[in-house]
Structure 1
Amino acid sequence: MNPELWPVVDELLLSEEERNVYVNRKNAVVLYFKGIGLKRIHEQTGVHPKNLRRLIHRCILISDDGLVWGFRALIPQKKVKPYQLNLSSKKKNPSRKTGEFKLLLETYPPLQDLIKDLFLGNHRRSLEPAMKPHHIHKKFIDTCRTLGIPLHQYPFNTDHLGFKALQRYVTKLSFMYFGKNRTRYGQDAITKAKHTGEGEQNHPSTLHPYQKVQFDAHRIDGFFIIEVMTPEGDLIPIVLDRFWILTLIDVATRVVLGYAISLNKEYSAVDVMHCFRNTVIPHEKVTVSIEGLKYNQTGGFPSEVYPSSTAWAVWDMIYFDNAKSHLANLVQDRLKHLIGCDINLGPVALPMRRGIIERFFKILEETGFHRLPNTTGSNPDDPRRTDPEKNAVKYKMSFDHLKQLIDILISDYNGKPHGGIYHQTPLELLGKRLNAGLLPRQLEEELRKEVLFMQVTKTATIRGSLKSGKKPYIQFQGVEYRSDKLGQSAHLLNKELILHVNVDDLRTIRTFLPDGSEFDYLAAAGKWSITPHSLQIRKAINSLVRQRLIYLTTWDDPIFVYTEYLRINATKGKRGAANTVTQVKESTRKRTTINEPEGQTEALERVEERNAALERAREHTKKEQTDREYTEYKDLMKLYKTKL
């Protein structure tokens, strides 16, 4: 035993009389462990040898926290052992019932099991979800009678039949089983008890920018509209269902690194990767068309304000919950092999684990969306909620306006003082850390391609037939993919190709041979290669074709047909159709891709030339058919007039 390792006592909290007793006891115990004789210890401290042995025994007892009592056991009147009733003791006071309840439970273990099961809801002793103490007491007394406990013994010899003692016992049970009683306190309380208040997350000391980031999504508290053209040619406003904003924030500086908007009912893995892509790629301000709305000069995004240090910067650790979209293979693979970061998966529905980003969402709503006439407020009873859908239509609050508003709100947030960082602005603190040499990692030059953020790896068998003369091709999501090189590679028939698929744009697919060597860029057959479209859109179109809700011919652009189908459904008021229309428009909008691979550009150019040639051939064929039909008509009329 080494007293230097024992728990200590703050002596200043004791009264002067208690302090004198404690100090003498402490000195006596310390001298004993130094090997000083009992007689000498008695002379120096006044502690009798018999009392000293008792004190040492108290010090080495194990307390409820798993440690020895140590010097804490030397505090005057300190209880180190629970009270144990001794029925044979001559000092026992018959009028006091202290310890009787505990002795009863030790004598009759079924009583203890009954109380515990009823209070914690175990073993289906009762269908009542959260039994109250007085109901438990009723069962307790009934069981005491069943066990044959005489009426002159405890608990029948007390005024309240042991109810007060039972109350104290169930309170002690709630402490002992903290975080384990779902039926009594609910799943939310249990989840918080299990996953908060422990670990490194509760002792943050992050100084390095981009060392730790938090990710989460928040459903925007407001309605917005899009304008859709009816079959009669009229533009009408359609209200969008509420959608999501996904955000990444730096723990050290509180600066928002990037964001994305998801129009899906539930955001997907692709939406998560859009947020990561927008964070790493240098940010560009949106074009503002709302009169009077402008960016604050002190705000901005890190890659705009500190481009040399934060453009293409990546993080070391990301915190988010166990939502399905976060666990998807696309997200896990890109974080590991592209970003190169560690993942900390916290529990679902536990926002306090990501308190920094949750506070940002609250600021975003309170300073932005909750001030608009189309706000839904923070709950259905919020007085700020005054017919938000009607107001969205009345004031023409469009989706394009939302995109401008979000970009400006986040930009301004980064330039406003923040209480959590001593009233500095996030961008100001970020600049100080960067000037101090705390620079983040930046993505390697060869990895700075936008398509890599949305890339998944698949395999496909090369199909074709020597017998029928069908050239080699592969099939992916119901569409054939070809290239001149593949068409001339009959020796690869029935072999596998490794596909690097950009789930944001399925017009082309990059392929590799099984040994890892690059093969070629394959282009989608027919009109599938005209309009950019995502994997989600391709699956939706294929599903509608299988259900025979839309029909595609060789000359139809599938994305155009799909958009028309959605537009008609949106004008009919089909739920979610307006969101899907907007999502398709955003996905198919042609924009400049950052560092687009040269092979992909060449493949798309060849496809455009081929489609243009096919279109010319179609027009020529159509003209010939029209001329032929006109000639036949003239001959028929001439013949008809002759007969007359």
Structure 2
Amino acid sequence: MVLTWRARLRYEPEWYEFERWPFVDSQSMPAEQRRQYLTNVRIVAAVLDGRALKLVAADHNVSPARVTQLMNRCLAGDEDAPPALTQGLIPYQRVGPDKRRAALGTLTQPSGARCGFRYLLEVVPGLEDHLLAQIRGATRRNRRGQNLTPRRFHASFITYLNTLDWPKDTYPFTTVSRGSEACRRFLKRTLMDLQMPRDHPRVIGSKMTPVRGFQEIHIDEAHVDCKGAAAVVLHDQMSPVRLGRISLLLARDVGTGCYLAGTIALSAHPNSADVLALLEQLIQPWEPMVLTAPGLSYGAEAGFPSALDETFCRPAFGIVRLDNALAHLSHQVRRMVCDHLGATANFGLPKNPKARALIEQAFRRLNIDIHRFPSTTGSHPTDPLREPAKLQKAPPFVSLRALEEVISVLLTEYNLSPLANLGAVTPLEQMQYQMMNHLLPLRAGTLGPGLGPYQRSQTVTVRKGFKADAPRVNFEGCQYTGVALNDGRLINQRVTIVFDIRDIRTLQVTTPEGRPLGAVTAPHTWMRFAHSVSLRKRINHLVRENVFSARDPLGDWFQYTMAHRHLPKEALTLVRLEKLMPNEDRLPMEQSIDPPTPKETNPALADALNRLPDWNPDMAKKRR
């Protein structure tokens, strides 16, 4: 999600303090550039201090639009990417890659040709591959290639567009040069890249393999190579549905090879909340699942290390290695790893899974047993074990609950398997031995006041409600009210709200100085069950698209998901939604596809019902 500068300050209020911004040495700049840089610094510092944009613009003899542009240059951008901050204050400094956002202009509606060539490479099918193939043929001196010149390369570019019947009233046919300069620069840049010497690929890993427990942790997620089923009971009728693929998040210790935690994400694409749930399991005592599948049971001492002792729940972690997934790069995951776990977050190099070979080996070992199910998706599209096409329309035989239980049992049983590299000692025994005989450091029990792993803070303004005695704060499209705001001195004043990203029905309100005021709640239409920020945004989007009304958004969202339960992805969403509902409103959804047993009836009640005579038209005549 792209944030404006105001949204960035709401989500990350620490940037209000200009002293926290990175330092830039202005003495290394030319005099004219230094003068403009210092002016930009004074403008941004005045805006962060709370002054109005018009007053700041008048003091520095610039327009308000220029002030907004400067703030967006420093703070706007993608939510998961760090802002430019001080780099955006340097004149003529490029803070992001050029990208065309508007559609290409036409003769009747011109919109400029900036980044038009790059836009064509992304939109026109096969254009970039066609141009790169010609450049590679010329570089490798292929017998089917040609000696390219900028003019010949541009002619090939135009010929390819004519072959695809590209509109003649659209770029590049609307310009005099027809994109010749962009073609020349693309040719020159690509030739330089292809002619550079290439080093042999190598795996960059740590020089010394860790041997101490909790010294290095590998974390990753992968799709479970199997699909499950669930049974939806609606109007006393059971309807089995096929579910989409789920994901497994796993944490493994490198020194002992022990599995530390594992969690299931009911989605093909885990988000930061799922990663936080895995990290939370590292410091919480492990509890076994209640096994319902027949023939399935835990070993005598099977489990994760956190179930052994209280000391295993607060070790001092060294390095936590993750890949470059967006869920790992979020600020909340970094804060959880660095601040709460006291570890070092290492995201490694892109496209280098061999640096975390231990966690990849764990997924391959798990697939050996998962591929035994007939509903497996296999390791690749041509895997002979893959579920045949004739069975892919019907619900699988294995239920989602049974699949989760199997994964839990397999992960805990591995910790009891003797390993050759440990001298025929199990990973769990090695972990216990090191904790008893080695000086493994422990974390402090409490970190003092501060935001929790799932908490965020945001600064909002208290507004006067539609009633004189109902002040409110606006958050994610809803008006929150409560006793905490029933003070006339808070009207039009800034307050700080703290919320849990998993459940935003209730917000905790504090003053900017940190004095707690109390809690505020969402409207009754949003109080039916817990929902996250992402779910609220998706529901509001569907309301704006007129998919359903805003009177009962959570109820309509449930009905919308029920209507699309024949789709595996929506069926998985329905299972995830069912886990959020309270017990009294929970959907009767079974995790097994066995038919329900008939309910027991009262014999006296059944005898009384049998004595009632059947209805006939004469009964209506007698009543008249």
TM-score by length of 1: 0.58
Summarize the alignment of residues 417-496 of structure 1 with structure 2, pairs less than 5 Å apart.
417-442=418-443, 444-445=445-446, 452-464=452-464, 469-487=468-486, 489-496=487-494
Q: Is the 8 A contact 2:286 2:303 kept in 1?
A: no
Shift of 1:233: 5.4
Q: Deviations over 1:481-521 (max 9, x none)?
A: 2221322x221222222222211111212232212233322
Correspondence for 2:410? 409
Q: Secondary structure at the match of 1:576?
A: helix
State, as a whole percentage, how many aligned pairs show the same letter: 24
Shift of 1:213: 0.8
Shift of 1:589: 5.5
Cα distance in 2 for residues equivalent to 1:578 and 1:137: 52
Residue from 287, 291, 295 that aligns with 2:290 = 287
Change (3 A) 1:589 1:453: farther
Correspondence for 2:264? 261
Cα distance in 1 for residues equivalent to 2:399 and 2:449: 33
Shift of 1:250: 1.2
Change (3 A) 1:422 1:521: farther
Change (3 A) 1:126 1:531: closer
Q: Is the 8 A contact 2:510 2:517 kept in 1?
A: yes
Residue from 563, 578, 586 that aligns with 1:568 = 563
Summarize the alignment of residues 373-384 of structure 1 with structure 2, pairs less than 5 Å apart.
373-384=374-385
Task: Please state if 1:582 is matched with 2:584.
Answer: no
Q: Is the 8 A contact 1:227 1:238 kept in 2?
A: yes
Q: Secondary structure at the match of 2:299?
A: coil
Gaps of 5+ in 2: 1-130, 148-190, 585-624
Q: Secondary structure at the match of 1:427?
A: helix
Q: Deviations over 1:358-417 (max 9, x none)?
A: 011111111x21122211111122222232883795663111112211211111111112
Correspondence for 1:640? none
Correspondence for 2:317? 315
Correspondence for 1:129? 136
Shift of 1:471: 2.1
Shift of 1:320: 0.9
Q: Which has the higher helix share?
A: 1
Shift of 1:454: 1.4
Shift of 1:128: 5.1
Correspondence for 2:223? 219
Summarize the alignment of residues 322-337 of structure 1 with structure 2, pairs less than 5 Å apart.
322-337=324-339
Change (3 A) 1:139 1:382: closer
Shift of 1:223: 1.0
Cα distance in 2 for residues equivalent to 1:276 and 1:193: 36
Q: Deviations over 1:398-447 (max 9, x none)?
A: 11112211211111111112344344221111111101233353452467
Correspondence for 2:536? 538
Q: Which amino acid aligns with 2:407?
A: I
Q: Is the 8 A contact 1:418 1:425 kept in 2?
A: yes
Cα distance in 1 for residues equivalent to 2:579 and 2:470: 35
Q: Which amino acid aligns with 1:284?
A: E
Q: Is the 8 A contact 1:471 1:490 kept in 2?
A: no
Correspondence for 1:32? none
Q: Deviations over 1:179-238 (max 9, x none)?
A: x998799xxxx8x956x434xx342332332221111111111111122346x6532222
Q: Secondary structure at the match of 1:364?
A: helix
Correspondence for 2:549? 551
Q: Deviations over 1:575-617 (max 9, x none)?
A: 52112112222334679xxxxxxxxxxxxxxxxxxxxxxxxxx
Q: Secondary structure at the match of 2:282?
A: helix
Cα distance in 1 for residues equivalent to 2:537 and 2:405: 30
- Which is worse superposed, 510-519 or 382-391? 382-391
Q: Is the 8 A contact 2:229 2:240 kept in 1?
A: yes
CA RMSD of aligned residues (A): 3.4
Q: Is the 8 A contact 2:245 2:267 kept in 1?
A: no
Q: Deviations over 1:232-275 (max 9, x none)?
A: 65322221121211111111111111122222332211121121
Q: Secondary structure at the match of 1:452?
A: coil
Change (3 A) 1:125 1:346: closer
Q: Is the 8 A contact 1:244 1:263 kept in 2?
A: yes
Q: Deviations over 1:548-579 (max 9, x none)?
A: 212243xx4x4343222101111xx3452112
Q: Is the 8 A contact 2:229 2:242 kept in 1?
A: yes
Cα distance in 2 for residues equivalent to 1:254 and 1:301: 12
Cα distance in 1 for residues equivalent to 2:508 and 2:145: 73
Shift of 1:347: 2.5
Correspondence for 1:348? 350
Q: Is the 8 A contact 1:218 1:245 kept in 2?
A: yes
Cα distance in 2 for residues equivalent to 1:389 and 1:203: 50
TM-score by length of 2: 0.60
Q: Secondary structure at the match of 1:434?
A: helix
Cα distance in 2 for residues equivalent to 1:244 and 1:430: 27
Cα distance in 1 for residues equivalent to 2:399 and 2:211: 40
Change (3 A) 1:239 1:400: same
Q: Is the 8 A contact 1:513 1:519 kept in 2?
A: yes
Q: Is the 8 A contact 1:319 1:344 kept in 2?
A: yes
Gaps of 5+ in 1: 1-123, 141-179, 592-644
Correspondence for 1:385? 386
Q: Is the 8 A contact 2:455 2:499 kept in 1?
A: yes
Task: Please state if 1:197 is matched with 2:203.
Answer: yes
Q: Which amino acid aligns with 2:453?
A: F
Q: Which amino acid aligns with 2:359?
A: I
Q: Which amino acid aligns with 1:379?
A: H
Q: Is the 8 A contact 1:323 1:348 kept in 2?
A: no
Q: Which amino acid aligns with 2:363?
A: F
Correspondence for 1:271? 274
Cα distance in 2 for residues equivalent to 1:428 and 1:358: 23
Q: Is the 8 A contact 1:309 1:440 kept in 2?
A: no
Correspondence for 1:497? 495
Q: Is the 8 A contact 2:480 2:523 kept in 1?
A: yes
Summarize the alignment of residues 137-286 of structure 1 with structure 2, pairs less than 5 Å apart.
196-198=202-204, 201-229=205-233, 234-286=237-289
Cα distance in 1 for residues equivalent to 2:244 and 2:222: 14
Cα distance in 2 for residues equivalent to 1:362 and 1:245: 12
Q: Is the 8 A contact 1:566 1:580 kept in 2?
A: yes
Cα distance in 2 for residues equivalent to 1:574 and 1:393: 12
Correspondence for 2:59? none
Change (3 A) 1:341 1:499: farther
Residue from 491, 509, 512 that aligns with 1:511 = 509
Q: Which amino acid aligns with 2:508?
A: R
Q: Is the 8 A contact 1:245 1:259 kept in 2?
A: yes
Q: Is the 8 A contact 1:209 1:253 kept in 2?
A: yes
